[in-house]
Amino acid sequence: MKQVVHHCADSHMNCLVRFKLTLTEETPTIKPYDESKWATLKDSLNDDISDSLKIIEGIHAKWVILLKSMNEKQFSRRFFHPESQKTFALDEITGFYAWHCNHHLAHIEQALSHKNQF
């Protein structure tokens, strides 16, 4: 469960940067990161998830401000992802990250309910 929280902090931090690059540059090439290697770093192995929760809270607060300020043209702006060799529009990335949050929240809720059964 703690790894999921640390992963969300890392993932959403990267995505906010991708949004800002896309809003300020013409079809930027984003920098991918190796999620599995990031998961082996000391901060991702930390049992204390409070710092990652603070990051998620802060990132989401900034992201909401940014999303609410965007117009349709800005949501159609695109970035290039070199691993998939595809471009992605910010509106589709917004939908993906809404799913991403719910997906991992379900993992956490399932783990907690399973833990409470014992």
pTM for the structure as a whole: 0.85
User: For the chain, what is the total number of helices (H) and then of strands (E)?
Assistant: 6, 2
- Where along the chain do its domains lie? 2-116
Q: Helix 90-116 crosses helix 2-24 at what angle (to 10 degrees)? A: 170
Homologous superfamily of domain range 2-116: dinb family like domain (1.20.120.450)
pLDDT tens-digit map of 38-92: 999 999 999 999 999 999 999 999 999 999 999 999 999 999 999 999 999 999 9
Read off the pLDDT band of 23 (50, 70, 90).
Answer: very high
Q: What is the pLDDT of residue 116?
A: 62
Question: Above 80 in pLDDT, residue 115?
Answer: no
